[in-house]
């Protein structure tokens, strides 16, 4: 189906009372898979999995047809293939997803400045201030869905509610390609039949603790006195879950949450002990992290590396620089020093990662040169690479050492 022909389906309760429901949770449907299928429309309606095809690859996304077989994101690719052997496997194209994500977020900002991204494919919006200009929240949600389809050829699901927690649950319940309004006076009716695992903060261990108390649904939990919950969960968790069970969530939509750190990591297709190949991967990751720093307008001061051995034991090492940076060559040099200091040269590794912490805004920052020191030119060169990547794609410009033949043991 072409982009012009595709239209979002109507929500199951588009006419529901959305008074007091200014919060939207917008979630793209099978985001990576949907982006790929724009260029391969013949695969629509069939099981498709996005992920590195190697033995150690993981599922990044899957169409709903593949999910019916039990495939889900973060699942090892080997297991996904066993569950759904007929699925088409498509390697990820990360630059493409980032471009679509930016475009979708720009659409959100045309409706309200109160946008809180929580992932590349989902965000909370507070449209309370846009009501007079654009109409009620459900109508705004429908306009957003129509624009996402029209401009990007993918669909999204939107939950409309009076709180972030309920809005997110609503978007999950109307997937794919739906819109669900949870009126303020129907929140309890909506929440209480749900399994208790639907509550934020209920992981596997907490769910087991609640089941020992005979609590299986949100309604069961709501009926238990907080003092009883405290004995099994602790004071903070008991109060938190009891409030959610009654639909109480006072958190506002926060338009901008500063990044605390930026990192990237890679799992090798086969364990690698060759220091030359390890350093090559550290360069690749440093390039990726530096590009994200510049894209976000950040400088970082603390560089860390993550090194996971073949037996899954993991070592981390970090170092604070004399001054903050967004230059890949600086990150790379520091990462290599940390790798050497960890004493793992010639030790088989299955994963390496590079991360930068202690971030601050790059705007207005100036670099202090030492006496007789010259500018290296690396920042300007990398900024030129950024421009080329934005225009021609992720692999348009690479350091010479990263131009490699295929099958060197590293997943693309």
CA distances from 163 to 23, 30, 166, 175, 187 (A): 6, 24, 6, 19, 10
Q: Hey, what are 284's tokens?
A: 């690749």
Residue 410 phi/psi, 5-degree rounding, is: -115, 130
Q: Hey, what are 48's tokens?
A: 């498709």
- Contact of 350 with 267, CB cutoff 8 Å: yes
122 is catalytic: yes
At a CB cut-off of 8 Å and minimum separation 6, what does 92 contact? 32, 50, 51, 52, 60
Instruction: Report which DSSP code applies to 410.
Output: B
- The annotation status of 311 as a binding-site residue, yes or no, is no
E-assigned strand segments in 92-201: 115-119, 122-126, 156-161, 179-181
Q: Which of 65, 122, 287, 382 is catalytic?
A: 122
Rounded Cα gap, residues 250 and 253, in angstroms: 10
DSSP reduced 3-state for 163: coil
Residue 322 phi/psi, 5-degree rounding, is: -65, -30
- The annotation status of 27 as a binding-site residue, yes or no, is yes
DSSP reduced 3-state for 7: coil
Half-sphere exposure at residue 377, Cβ-oriented, CA atoms within 13 angstroms? 1
The annotated binding site for Mg(2+) is made up of: 27, 121
Q: Which positions are annotated as active-site residues?
A: 122
The annotated binding site is made up of: 27, 121
């Amino acid at each position: 189906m072409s982009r012009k022909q595709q239209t979002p389906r109507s929500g199951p309760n588009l006419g529901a009372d959305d008074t007091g429901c200014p919060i939207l949770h917008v979630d793209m449907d099978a985001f990576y898979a949907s982006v790929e299928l724009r260029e391969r429309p013949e695969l629509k309606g069939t099981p498709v999995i996005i992920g590195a095809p190697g033995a150690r690859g993981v599922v990044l996304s899957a169409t709903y047809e593949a999910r019916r077989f039990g495939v889900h994101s973060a699942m090892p690719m080997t297991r996904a293939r066993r569950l759904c052997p007929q699925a088409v496997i498509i390697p990820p194209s990360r630059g493409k997803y980032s471009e679509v994500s930016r475009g979708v977020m720009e659409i959100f900002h045309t409706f309200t400045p109160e946008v809180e991204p929580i992932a590349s494919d989902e965000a909370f919006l507070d449209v309370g201030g846009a009501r007079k200009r654009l109409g009620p929240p459900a109508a705004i949600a429908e306009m957003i869905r129509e624009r996402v389809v029209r401009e990007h050829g993918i669909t999204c699901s939107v939950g409309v509610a009076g709180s972030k927690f309920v809005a997110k649950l609503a978007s999950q319940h109307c997937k794919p390609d739906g819109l669900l309004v949870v009126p303020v006076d129907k929140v309890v009716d909506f929440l209480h039949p749900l399994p208790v695992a639907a509550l934020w903060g209920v992981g596997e261990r907490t769910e087991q603790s609640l089941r020992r108390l005979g609590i299986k649904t949100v309604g069961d939990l709501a009926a238990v006195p907080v003092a009883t919950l405290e004995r099994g969960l602790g004071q903070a968790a008991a109060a938190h879950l009891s409030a959610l069970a009654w639909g109480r969530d006072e958190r506002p939509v926060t338009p901008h949450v500063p990044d605390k750190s930026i990192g990237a990591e890679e799992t090798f297709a086969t364990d690698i002990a060759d220091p030359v190949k390890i350093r090559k991967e550290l360069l690749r990751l440093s390039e990726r992290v530096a590009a994200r720093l510049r894209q976000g307008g950040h400088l970082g001061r603390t560089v860390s590396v993550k090194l996971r051995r073949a037996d899954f034991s993991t070592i981390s090492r970090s170092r604070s620089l004399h001054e903050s940076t967004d230059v890949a060559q600086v990150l790379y040099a520091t990462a290599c020093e940390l790798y050497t200091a960890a004493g793992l040269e010639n030790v088989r590794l299955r994963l390496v990662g590079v991360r930068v912490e202690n971030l601050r805004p790059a705007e207005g920052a100036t670099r202090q040169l030492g006496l007789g020191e010259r500018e290296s030119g690396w920042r300007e060169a990398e900024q030129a690479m950024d421009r080329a990547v934005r225009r021609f794609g992720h692999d348009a410009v690479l350091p010479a050492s990263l131009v490699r033949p295929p099958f060197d043991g590293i997943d693309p």
